């Protein structure tokens, strides 16, 4: 199909700024072309113009711009486009309405209920894509064994595509829907998305609605059961909305594109790239599969050109553009994800795992509180970097220019207001001189002040930095920022980063490739000859793909193989027939079968192919999926669960029609040394070095170039660094061998550049510890909910770095480590590991078990660092399953207690002793020992392994730099955080003094039982310090709302970080300027055996409210986590539920979101109903519950759970009698309410905290609190509109690494 001899074939990538064209000419030659994607004065459409130019220049015939292009010479056209992505980012899709099951109109607004940015009080969340919602009065429910609901008349029973049986509780009322739809049409909305619960398995109701909508005249109707039939209503809902929102825009673009050609391209084979890396015919191209159309071409391009089938060395794709960098991995197979977020919209569709980091050539450079910071803000295309002569800021591109790594004389003159000037080195240097002056002023003022704050060494700084040192510093910080996701992407799945080839493409990557490869330990960098237009070239190499998928509920076992084989065969036949209809012969078609598999009772599903695992007597015909799954599970997670059944969630078949071209280009062989075209001076670590400049087109195969050197191509600049060598391959590509860094010795005096790099390195250690813990743990809480933190501490136990940022863990582990240092002192030996969870030893609540490992160094008697991991164990004994009792009155009722327990002694895991301790709560009345010993022991071993990895990484860092240097920089990083907090306190004190003349603020708030929490803050403006005095706070309570001291410190660090308003290292330095006074015996520092489980999840929120009220930052958010759990002998479930966020001085509070000290994701309605004896009757916002004001508080939510069998329900909540306060005249938010509707018709108010036995048919109704309002309503008639930003500025990141971090912060 790809062989169209005698014609012109085109592969075109239409990007946001540039359109890249790859053309194969009738005589076999290849041409590339780059033109602006938008140039309305010269042409209407860039791809059409690219085709027109090539045809005109190559044939010598005139192809007028104002006439449709003659297609008689065109064989095929393949395109990748950012049309869908841009419409999503700009929110410029089609006006859309959503049809959804009654009771769930706000389901997609609430989403997962987690906020995207942990410390963003405004809670900026992208708006939903639909304009109107219509609730459809229909309901189907999965049938369950053991369901004891009383029967209410006969109900229709249907069978879903998964084999599950469902009951139709409410039949569809099409007459009512028709009336509603006519109203929508009359308001000019003609695009419709349909989302009904459980339609992934039974779609009849959706299909009936689709037929009705098309009959009424809707031009686009997207059904969730057709767009992506996978379980989980929320991501499926986002996907179907994106499809309805974007597909009309794509059709509009295609109509415009085809109109530029004679007969609308009817006789030309036109294919479009989908997000999964496969091509599809133009008429099949739809919104939900188009979002990664552009970058997918690049992945295919590097995968086919860089991966050697012989050597089988995996490749990291590194595509550095203007605003961001895309990182991906290829090891012989494309790595797909089936759910990823782009521009704030989660799409459930197969897509290549492309990880986008907010660091590119246009990333802005900042110097903040003594630290070099790169991005995430970008200069964009307009105004662009300072050197573009349009008044733009300093960027990474400017830093490369300042160091001589970009040569203006080799760039076209397209800059400045008239777009006719060269790059401006003068403009760049002017900006750098100003920034260098600012940096040197900071350094000299710090030196003159000398700093006496504890470990602070900020005055040990060489007095002056040169412009070049500053520019070089920013380049090194940018490189380290880009290394972190590459490490995460490889190590997350158990791969060694250094064993990869770095395939570099995109305009800006060549200047950074050597440095990044060296930092990651890679030895080879590959840059294809078409690296500047690799996305377009990848389109020419790609195959046509047809994918089909359907949900499944089978167990992977002998009894299911027959049905599994039949379904696989049916789907494979569909793929085959579709590809045959597109002109492929059977010999060109291959199909690959995937099963979406997971162990029963877990959520970690892997999409598995049986390639390399042929079928046998114990497998289905498509292959030995059991072996394939267990081997991959072992690789990614470090263990398997041999006695656990394997479930099949989905069956997927990917059919490929082989149609990619084969490049036969060979370059001429040369001998001897290549001749440089000129010589320049480039700045490196050693200073300025003579650097040869070569033109790529003049290089021949066999030429080798020693660094330092620059290789220039039309579309990119490659920097060959010192100790590196570049050679030209037979195909005309550049292959670089990366030498080791000539070791530059770093002293203990502060180098502000190294400060930023060490900050990244320390964070990277904590992140890598987290990856090991997640991979090797076994419980749902740690492995899937990611409820854990890992951290690095100094020899004094002071926090250095913590990842991820779970608010209630922030700074709390520091107290635990310091307690062990005081308690055990010299008794700590190498090979010891300590386990602790006691509140008096820095614990938060008992299920959070902290494992601490001292790091020793040869020749040093005491630990030089500590590493620790804290994980939430699902059960550690006590009076209730889950160890979160609502009515506990003593610590012993909440589970097993460890103060300074040696979990490992001399390298030996103390299994017997720890088992005994975990079972010990059984000695207390009504208590049990742990109910899940196996998971406890497995997770504790995983925590020890994570610490071992941290210890090893700290050791490697010390090997590289020396102990004195690493400990010095630990101190500098803590000082940097301290400085940021001092600056914030000085700024607040200055404003406060001007407004009131006083430097003292105070506030109080109350728990539901009337216990006051009081705070008085005295600020020292000169020193930037403060005393936080909680004297006057109520006494310890009879109940479990007592909060250990560590909780208050965590809440304080969280508040300080929110008020600083920028990224700072969250470590011990944050609290250095703060003195905290908490009265012993109070609710915030209870006695040794006080119950504390509610303090962790409830009182922590009130402490935040009190601090923010004192500083008048924003109105109160819901102030509660709404802890709901239910269980029986056979099942247990726990969730926390969203409410309203508080309004602030320039924003309305977000509705239906978690705030402050929690950010937990909520279980999807379909998963909840599939796995637990419950039906979710209603889940929506609670209108009017947010406080009124100039800016309104966010609304809480209403959540109704109908129980299908006998369970015990436990409720642990607050703000049921006190209301979340408004600020500056804004009204209070509504209090929450917990109601129980008994099956017999009685309605009971359960109060804030209770445990109660429920019968089948009982319904629990939760009404969560709203947020407080800000400012008086009458202050203004019209609220100011917030500036609408491009969503890639607010939400630039994407990919599996980003999803993992969001999931961790969503705990």
Task: Indicate if the pLDDT at residue 909 is higher than 50.
Answer: yes
Q: Is the pLDDT of residue 411 over 70?
A: yes
pLDDT band at 1039 (very low <50, low <70, confident <90, very high): very high
**Residue 455 pLDDT greater than 90, yes or no:** no
Return d(Cα 1252, Cα 1126) in angstroms, integer.
9
Residue with the larger pLDDT of the pair 803 and 798: 798
User: What is the predicted pLDDT for the residue at 1278?
Assistant: 43
Query: How far is residue 105's CA from residue 1055's CA, in Å, rounded to a whole number?
Result: 33
Q: What is the pLDDT of residue 332?
A: 86
Residue with tokens 């504790």: 940
Query: What pLDDT, on the 0 to 100 scale, is given for residue 194?
Result: 98
759: preceding bond cis by omega (within 30 degrees) = no
In terms of phi and psi (left: phi > 0; alpha: psi -120 to 50; beta: otherwise), the region of 1156 is left
The pLDDT of residue 955: 92
Kindly state the average pLDDT of the residues 671-685: 86
Q: Is the peptide bond before 218 cis (omega within 30 degrees of 0)?
A: no
- Written in H, E and C, the secondary structure of 860-875 is CCCCCEEEEEEEECCC
* pLDDT at 753 > cutoff 50: yes
The residue ranking higher by pLDDT, 96 or 639, is: 96
Helix axes 1045-1060, 1100-1111, angle to 10 degrees: 40
Tell me the per-residue pLDDT of 536-583, one tens digit each, with 9 for 90 and over: 999 999 888 888 888 998 999 999 999 999 999 999 999 999 888 888
In this prediction, residues 341-366 reach a mean pLDDT of 83
| pLDDT value of residue 1307 | 53
SS3 465: coil
Q: What is the band of 1275 on the pLDDT scale with cuts at 50, 70, 90?
A: low
- Between the CA of residue 1102 and those of 1099, 1118, 1181, what are the distances in Å? 5, 10, 23
d(CA 826, CA 823) in angstroms, rounded, equals 9
Q: 11 near 1, Cβ under 8 Å?
A: no
Q: Average pLDDT of the chain?
A: 87
**Which residue matches tokens 């906020």?**
115
- Identify the weakest region by mean pLDDT among 67-76, 374-383, 1151-1160: 374-383
Q: Cβ distance 538 to 526 under 8 Å?
A: no
Average pLDDT over residues 773-780: 77
Q: What pLDDT is recorded for position 1297?
A: 64
What is the predicted pLDDT for the residue at 1281?
Answer: 39
Q: Please measure the distance between the N-terminal and C-terminal CA atoms of the chain and give it in whole angstroms.
A: 50
- Residue 154, sorted as left (phi over 0), alpha (psi -120 to 50) or beta, turns out to be beta
Query: pLDDT band at residue 1284, thresholds of 50, 70 and 90?
Result: very low
Q: Are 222 and 247 in contact (CB under 8 A)?
A: yes
| Cα angle 1157-1160-1163, degrees, rounded to a multiple of 5 | 160
* Torsion-angle region of 1215 (φ positive above 0: left; ψ -120 to 50: alpha; else: beta): left
Over residues 1045-1059, the pLDDT tens digits come to 989 998 998 898 888
Q: How many residues does the chain have?
A: 1307
User: Rounded distance, CA 157 to CA 165, Å?
Assistant: 7
Q: Summarize the confidence of residues 343-355 as an average pLDDT.
A: 84
**pLDDT tens digits for 158-197?**
999 988 999 999 999 999 999 999 999 999 999 999 999 9
DSSP result, 117-137: STT-TT---PPPS-SEEEEE-
Dist. CA 249–CA 497, nearest whole Å: 40
- % residues pLDDT > 90 (the chain): 50
Q: What is the mean pLDDT of residues 887-891?
A: 92
Give the pLDDT band (50/70/90) at residue 336. Answer: confident
State the DSSP string of 30-82. EEEEEEES--TTT-S-HHHHHHHHHHHHHH-----TTSPBP-TTEEEEEEEE-
Q: What is the pLDDT of residue 139?
A: 96
Residue 367 has pLDDT above 50, yes or no: yes
Residue 887 tokens, joined: 């009515």
Dihedral angle sign, alpha carbons of residues 256, 257, 260, 262? negative
**In this structure, are residues 1064 and 976 in contact, taking their beta carbons and an 8 Å threshold?**
yes
Q: Looking at residue 381, what is its pLDDT?
A: 66
With a pLDDT cut of 70, the percent of the chain lying above it is 93
Cross-strand bridge partners of residue 194: 99, 223
Report the relative pairing of strands 678-684 and 646-657 from DSSP bridges.
Answer: unpaired
- Sort strands 139-142 and 96-101 into parallel, antiparallel or unpaired: unpaired
Helix, strand, coil distribution of the chain in percent, nearest 5: 35, 25, 40
* Pairwise CA distance, residues 771 & 638, whole Å: 11
Tens of pLDDT, residue by residue over 54-104, are 999 999 999 998 899 999 999 999 999 888 888 887 888 999 999 999 999
The yes-or-no verdict on residue 260 having pLDDT over 70 is yes
Contact of 395 with 361, CB cutoff 8 Å: yes
Indicate the angle between helix axes 1045-1060 and 812-824, nearest 10 degrees: 140
Nearest to 1304 by CA among 638, 809, 788: 788
Closest CA to 796 of 717, 734, 852, 866: 866
pLDDT in tens, 1090-1119: 999 999 889 999 999 999 999 999 999 999
Peptide linkage before 708 cis (omega within 30 of 0) = yes
Which residue from 286, 257, 282, 358 is spatially nearest to 52, judged by alpha carbons?
Answer: 257
C-alpha dihedral, 174 to 176 to 182 to 184, nearest 10°: -110
Mean predicted confidence (pLDDT) in 1137-1147: 96
Q: Where are the alpha helices (DSSP H) in 1019-1078?
A: 1045-1060
- Say what the pLDDT of residue 1286 is: 39
Residue 450 has pLDDT above 80, yes or no: no
pLDDT above 80 (res 1140): yes
Compute φ and ψ for 335, nearest 5 degrees. Answer: -95, 115
In the block, residue with structure tokens 């705990």 = 1307
pLDDT score of 643: 80
Contact 724, 743 (CB under 8 A): no
User: Residues 864, 958: contact at Cβ < 8 Å?
Assistant: yes
pLDDT, tens only, 1227-1242? 999 999 999 999 999 9
Residue 532 has pLDDT above 80, yes or no: yes
E strands, 600-686, in order: 606-609, 646-657, 678-684
Say if residue 668 is exposed, middle or buried (CB neighbours under 10 Å; 0-12, 13-18, 19+).
exposed
Give me 1096's structure tokens. Answer: 């962790």
Residue 422 has what pLDDT? Answer: 87
Q: Give the best-scoring range by mean pLDDT among 34-43, 187-196, 257-266.
A: 187-196
Strand pairing category for 132-136 and 833-836: unpaired
Q: Is the dihedral of CA 1169, 1173, 1177, 1182 positive or negative?
A: negative
Per-residue pLDDT tens for 125-139?
Answer: 888 999 999 999 999
1097, two tokens: 């999840």
């Amino acid at each position: 199909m790809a062989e169209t001899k005698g014609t012109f074939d085109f592969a075109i990538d239409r990007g946001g700024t540039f359109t890249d064209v790859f053309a194969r000419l009738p005589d076999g030659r290849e041409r590339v072309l780059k033109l602006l994607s938008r140039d309305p004065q010269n042409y209407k459409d860039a791809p059409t113009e690219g085709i027109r130019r090539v045809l005109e220049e190559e044939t010598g015939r005139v192809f007028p711009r104002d006439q449709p292009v003659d297609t008689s010479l065109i064989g095929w056209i393949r395109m990748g486009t950012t049309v869908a992505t841009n419409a999503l980012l700009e929110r410029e899709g089609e006006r859309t309405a959503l049809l959804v099951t009654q009771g769930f109109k706000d389901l997609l607004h609430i989403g997962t209920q987690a906020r995207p940015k942990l410390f963003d009080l405004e809670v900026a969340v992208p708006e939903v894509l639909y304009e109107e919602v219509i609730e459809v009065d229909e309901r189907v429910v999965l049938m369950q064994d053991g369901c004891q609901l009383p029967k209410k008349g006969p109900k229709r029973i249907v069978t879903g595509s998964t084999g599950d049986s469902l009951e139709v509780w409410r039949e569809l009322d099409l007459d009512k829907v028709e009336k509603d739809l006519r109203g929508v049409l009359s308001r000019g909305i003609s695009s419709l998305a349909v989302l009904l619960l459980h339609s992934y398995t039974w779609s009849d109701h959706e299909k009936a609605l689709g037929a009705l909508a098309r009959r009424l005249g809707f031009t686009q109707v997207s059904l969730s059961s057709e767009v992506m039939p996978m379980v989980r209503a929320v991501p499926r809902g986002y996907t179907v909305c994106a499809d309805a929102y974007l597909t009309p825009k794509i059709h509009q673009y295609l109509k415009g594109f085809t109109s530029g050609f004679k007969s609308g391209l009817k006789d030309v084979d036109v294919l479009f790239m989908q997000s999964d890396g496969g091509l599809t015919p133009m008429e099949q191209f739809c919104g939900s599969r188009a979002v990664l159309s552009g970058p997918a071409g690049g992945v295919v391009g590097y995968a086919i050109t860089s991966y050697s089938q012989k050597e089988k060395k995996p490749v990291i794709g590194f595509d550095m553009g203007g605003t961001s960098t895309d990182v991906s991995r290829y090891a012989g197979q494309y790595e797909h994800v089936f759910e990823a977020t782009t521009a704030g919209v989660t799409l459930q569709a197969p897509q290549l795992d492309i990880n986008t980091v907010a660091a590119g050539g246009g990333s802005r450079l900042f110097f903040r509180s003594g630290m070099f910071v790169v991005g995430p803000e970008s200069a964009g295309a307009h105004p662009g970097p300072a050197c573009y002569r349009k008044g733009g800021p300093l960027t990474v591109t400017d830093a490369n220019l300042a160091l001589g790594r970009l040569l203006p004389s080799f760039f076209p003159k397209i800059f400045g207001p008239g777009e006719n000037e060269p790059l401006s080195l003068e403009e760049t240097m002017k900006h750098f001189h100003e920034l260098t002056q600012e940096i040197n002023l900071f350094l000299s003022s710090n030196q003159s002040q000398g700093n006496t704050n504890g470990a602070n060494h900020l005055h040990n700084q060489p007095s002056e930095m040169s412009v070049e040192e500053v520019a070089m510093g920013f380049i090194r910080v940018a490189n380290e920022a880009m290394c972190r996701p590459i490490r995460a992407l490889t190590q997350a799945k158990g791969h060694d980063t250094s064993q990869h080839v770095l395939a570099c493409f995109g305009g800006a990557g060549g200047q950074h490739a050597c440095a990044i490869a060296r930092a990651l330990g890679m030895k080879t960098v590959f840059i294809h000859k078409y690296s500047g237009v690799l996305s377009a070239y990848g389109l020419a190499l790609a195959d046509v793909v047809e994918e089909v998928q359907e949900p499944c509920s089978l167990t992977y076992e002998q009894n299911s193989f027959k049905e599994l084989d039949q379904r696989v065969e049916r789907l494979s036949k569909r793929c085959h027939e579709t590809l045959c209809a597109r002109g492929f012969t059977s010999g060109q078609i291959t199909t690959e079968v995937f099963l979406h598999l997971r162990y029963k009772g877990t959520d970690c599903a892997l999409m598995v192919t049986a390639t390399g695992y042929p079928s046998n007597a114990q497998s289905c015909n498509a292959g030995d999926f059991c072996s394939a799954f267990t081997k991959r599970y072992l690789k990614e997670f470090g263990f398997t669960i041999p006695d656990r059944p394997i479930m099949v969630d989905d069956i997927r078949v990917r059919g490929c029609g082989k149609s990619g071209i084969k490049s036969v280009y060979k370059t001429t062989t040369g001998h001897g040394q290549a001749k440089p075209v000129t010589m320049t001076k480039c700045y490196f670590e050693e200073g300025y070095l003579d650097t040869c400049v070569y033109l790529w087109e003049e290089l021949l195969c066999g030429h080798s170039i020693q660094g330092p050197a620059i290789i220039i191509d039309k579309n990119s600049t490659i920097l060959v660094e010192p100790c590196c060598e570049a050679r030209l391959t037979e195909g005309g590509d550049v292959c670089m061998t990366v030498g080791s860094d000539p070791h530059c010795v770093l002293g203990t005096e502060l180098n502000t550049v190294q400060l930023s790099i060490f900050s990244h390195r320390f964070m990277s250690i904590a992140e890598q510890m987290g990856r090991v813990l997640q991979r090797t743990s076994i419980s749902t809480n740690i492995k899937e909910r990611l409820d854990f933190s890992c951290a690095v501490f100094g020899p004094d136990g002071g926090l250095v770095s913590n990842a991820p940022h779970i608010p209630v863990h922030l700074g709390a582990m520091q107290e635990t480590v310091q307690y062990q240092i005081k308690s055990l002192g010299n008794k700590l030996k190498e090979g010891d590991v300590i386990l602790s969870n006691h509140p008096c030893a820095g614990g938060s609540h008992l299920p959070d078990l902290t494992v601490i490992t001292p790091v020793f160094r040869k020749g040093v008697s005491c630990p030089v660092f500590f590493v620790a991991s804290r994980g939430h164990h699902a059960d550690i004994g006590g009076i209730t399953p889950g160890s979160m009792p609502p009515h506990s009155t003593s610590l012993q009722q909440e589970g097993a207690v460890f103060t300074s327990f040696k979990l490992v002694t001399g390298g030996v895991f103390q299994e017997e002793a720890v088992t005994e301790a975990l079972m010990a709560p059984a000695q207390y009345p009504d208590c049990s020992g742990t109910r899940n010993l196996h998971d406890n022991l497995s997770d504790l071993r995983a925590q020890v392994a994570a610490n071992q990895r941290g210890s090893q990484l700290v050791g490697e860092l010390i090997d590289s730099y020396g102990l004195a240097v690493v400990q010095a920089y630990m101190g500098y990083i803590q000082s940097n955080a301290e400085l940021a907090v001092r600056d914030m306190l000085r700024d607040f004190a200055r404003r406060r003094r001007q407004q009131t003349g006083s430097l003292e603020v105070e506030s109080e708030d109350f728990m539901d039982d009337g216990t006051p929490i009081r705070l008085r803050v005295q600020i020292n403006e000169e020193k930037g310090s403060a005393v936080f005095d909680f004297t006057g706070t109520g006494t310890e309570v009879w109940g479990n709302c007592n909060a250990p001291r560590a909780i208050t410190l965590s809440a304080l660090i969280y508040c300080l970080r929110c008020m600083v308003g920028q990224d700072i290292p969250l470590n011990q330095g944050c609290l250095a300027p703060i003195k905290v006074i908490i009265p012993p015996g109070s609710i915030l520092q209870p006695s040794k055996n006080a119950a504390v489980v509610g303090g962790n999840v409830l009182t922590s929120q009130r402490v935040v409210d009190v601090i923010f009220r004192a500083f008048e930052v924003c109105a109160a958010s819901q102030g509660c986590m709404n802890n709901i759990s239910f269980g029986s002998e056979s099942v247990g479930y726990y969730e926390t539920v969203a409410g309203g966020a508080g309004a602030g001085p320039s924003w309305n509070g977000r509705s239906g979101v978690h705030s402050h000290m929690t950010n937990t994701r909520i279980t999807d309605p379909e998963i909840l109903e599939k796995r637990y004896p419950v039906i979710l009757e209603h889940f929506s916002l609670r209108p009017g519950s947010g406080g009124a004001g100039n800016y309104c508080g966010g609304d809480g939510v209403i959540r109704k759970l109908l129980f299908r069998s006998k369970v015990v329900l436990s409720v642990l909540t607050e703000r049921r009698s006190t209301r979340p306060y408004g600020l500056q005249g804004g009204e209070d938010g509504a209090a929450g309410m917990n109601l129980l509707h008994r099956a017999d018709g009685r309605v009971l108010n359960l109060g804030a905290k209770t445990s109660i036995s429920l019968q089948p048919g009982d319904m629990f109704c939760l009404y969560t609190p709203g947020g407080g309002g800000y400012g008086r309503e009458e202050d203004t008639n019209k609220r100011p509109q917030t500036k609408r930003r491009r969503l890639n500025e607010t939400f630039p990141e994407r990919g599996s690494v980003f999803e993992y971090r969001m999931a961790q912060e969503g705990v």
